[in-house]
Amino acid sequence: MFGLGKRICGFCGGKVPGKRALRAPDRNGAYVCKACYAQWEREGRRCVECQTPVAGAHDVGAFFERRAFGHADCGGMKLFA
């Protein structure tokens, strides 16, 4: 459907190979590319929901409706490499 091994980023719409994408197992076929993740890291890892940084000990979550990252505890879907 999307071509061999390519994933569609739910945030930027980019097509990336599987190894360049993080997956959200709770949502079928949902991926976020590592470029979007790196951009968010550069901007300070701020949670879109509570506006505080997501520290290393917290699980990173993806808010697909808002195309933003945040805490999994704030309602984001957990991401896995």
Q: How far apart are the C-alpha atoms of 6 and 2, rounded to whole Å?
A: 6
Stretch that binds Zn ion, among 11-19, 21-29, 38-46, 58-66 (CB under 5 A): 11-19
- Positions in 32-61 near Zn ion (CB under 5 A): 33, 36, 47, 49-50
Sort 20 into a burial class: Cβ within 10 Å, 0-12 / 13-18 / 19+: middle
Stretch that binds Zn ion, among 4-12, 22-30, 38-46, 58-66 (CB under 5 A): 4-12
With CB under 5 A as the contact rule, the residue among 11, 40, 63, 69 that binds Zn ion is 11
Which letter does DSSP use for residue 27 in this model?
S
Q: At 3, is the secondary structure helix, strand, or coil?
A: coil
Binding mask 12-31 for Zn ion (x = CB under 5 A): x-x-----------------
